[in-house]
């Protein structure tokens, strides 16, 4: 009984410590964004092309890609103009059309959904011509209003990758705030509820990249984002999964992740996440430390990373290693 009590205590500590920097979360917790994309009803009712449009809720990204490939340029443009909120967020739509549909939200925006706290994905680099693609999956307290930090990480990773590549410009990095993250410090941080919903969205997003002919991406997963990536691992289309400042991936070791992707992990000695107990009891906590020897990930250098949210800091050994993975040199 004392062992169970100790485990429950550490799980509660996890709830109080994992990944939050903002205020206390509400008692009700966050609601994962779901349901049809904005504008879906009008999209499904549109019969102007004399063909049925794919249902955004049920069509796979590959089915969406095939549908758009059969349209003329004029037909594609009409859908962008008449249904920007669907075209701009529908995985499997060509990249250039998603950019055009999301143009009011910014440059090279691959997804933009303003519902709730908002979801957004923005690209650093030339995604359509990239030989290598990376996706940054952020942790808690990230939404449209706080997205700039994730976008800056993407820009810094892309710049470092360009320095390492002989020709440069061969790597594109997507800052993907495409799921509802935990907000503040509360039980959402210690459970997998939001991560499970995020894993489904991440899997569909990477399927969409594959459907339009892009290479399998490297995923860079920070803090609670590593929980998302751990749960997505068996299904997600990725060449590498890199976790940093991770509270756990909800797996005992790399074998339990059931993926062919290479698994990498980094944790700074100055990261407060090291004080979070690596437990998973009654749904609380996220399990083993990915940097522990028994986990089986390849551990990356992080001694010069000064804090939990500084893994993409230019000049650090960690960003150098990240860039080598991103451009396929490691």
Residues 182/187/191/194 CA torsion (nearest 10 deg):
-30
Query: pLDDT (tens digit, 9 = 90+) per residue, 52-97?
Result: 999 999 999 999 999 999 999 999 999 999 999 999 999 999 999 9
Q: Do 97 and 75 form a contact (C-beta atoms < 8 A)?
A: no
Give 66-84 as a DSSP string: HHHHTS-HHHHHHHHHH-H
Query: pLDDT (tens digit, 9 = 90+) per residue, 112-168?
Result: 999 999 999 999 999 999 999 999 999 999 999 999 999 999 999 999 999 998 767
CATH superfamily of 2-33+116-326: Alpha/Beta hydrolase fold, catalytic domain (3.40.50.1820)
Q: Is the pLDDT of residue 220 over 60?
A: yes
Query: pLDDT (tens digit, 9 = 90+) per residue, 222-246?
Result: 999 999 999 999 999 999 999 999 9
Query: pLDDT (tens digit, 9 = 90+) per residue, 18-58?
Result: 444 333 334 447 888 888 999 999 999 999 999 999 999 99
Separation CA 119–CA 181 (nearest Å): 10
Domain ranges within the chain, ordered by starting residue: 2-33+116-326
Query: pLDDT (tens digit, 9 = 90+) per residue, 277-316?
Result: 888 777 788 999 999 999 999 999 999 999 999 999 999 9
Measured over the CA atoms of residue 95, residue 98, residue 104 and residue 109, the dihedral's sign is negative
User: Which of these, 221, 220, 238, 176, lies nearest to 201 by C-alpha position?
Assistant: 176
What pLDDT does 167 receive?
A: 66
Q: Do 247 and 223 form a contact (C-beta atoms < 8 A)?
A: yes
């Amino acid at each position: 009984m004392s062992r169970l009590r100790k485990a429950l205590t550490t799980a509660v500590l996890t709830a109080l410590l994992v990944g939050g920097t903002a205020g206390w979360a509400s008692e009700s917790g966050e609601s994962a964004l779901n349901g049809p994309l904005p504008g879906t009803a009008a999209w499904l009712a549109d019969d102007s092309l004399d063909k049925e449009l794919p249902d955004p809720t049920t069509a796979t990204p590959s089915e969406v890609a095939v549908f758009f490939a059969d349209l003329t340029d004029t037909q594609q443009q009409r859908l962008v103009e008449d249904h920007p909120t669907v075209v701009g967020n529908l995985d499997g739509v060509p990249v250039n059309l998603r950019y055009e549909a999301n143009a009011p939200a910014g440059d090279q925006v691959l997804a933009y959904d303003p519902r709730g706290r908002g979801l957004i994905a923005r690209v650093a680099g030339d995604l359509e011509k990239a030989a290598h693609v990376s996706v940054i999956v952020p942790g808690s307290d990230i939404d449209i209003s706080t997205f700039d930090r994730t976008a800056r990480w993407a820009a810094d990773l892309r710049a470092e990758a360009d320095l390492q590549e002989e020709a440069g410009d061969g790597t594109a990095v997507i800052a993907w705030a495409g799921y509802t993250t935990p907000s503040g410090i509360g039980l959402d941080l210690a459970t997998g509820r939001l991560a499970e919903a995020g894993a489904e969205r991440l899997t569909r997003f990477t399927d969409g990249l594959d459907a339009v002919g892009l290479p399998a991406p490297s995923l860079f997963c920070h803090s609670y984002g590593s929980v998302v990536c751990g749960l997505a691992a068996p299904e997600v289309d990725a060449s590498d999964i890199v976790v940093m400042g991770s509270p756990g991936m909800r797996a005992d070791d790399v074998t339990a992740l059931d993926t062919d992707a290479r698994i990498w992990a980094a944790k700074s000695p100055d990261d407060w996440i090291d004080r979070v107990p690596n437990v998973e009891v009654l749904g609380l906590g996220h399990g083993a430390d990915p940097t522990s020897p028994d986990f089986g990930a390849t551990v990356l250098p992080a001694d010069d990373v000064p804090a939990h949210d500084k893994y993409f800091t230019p000049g650090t050994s960690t960003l150098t290693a990240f860039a080598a993975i991103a451009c396929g040199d490691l």
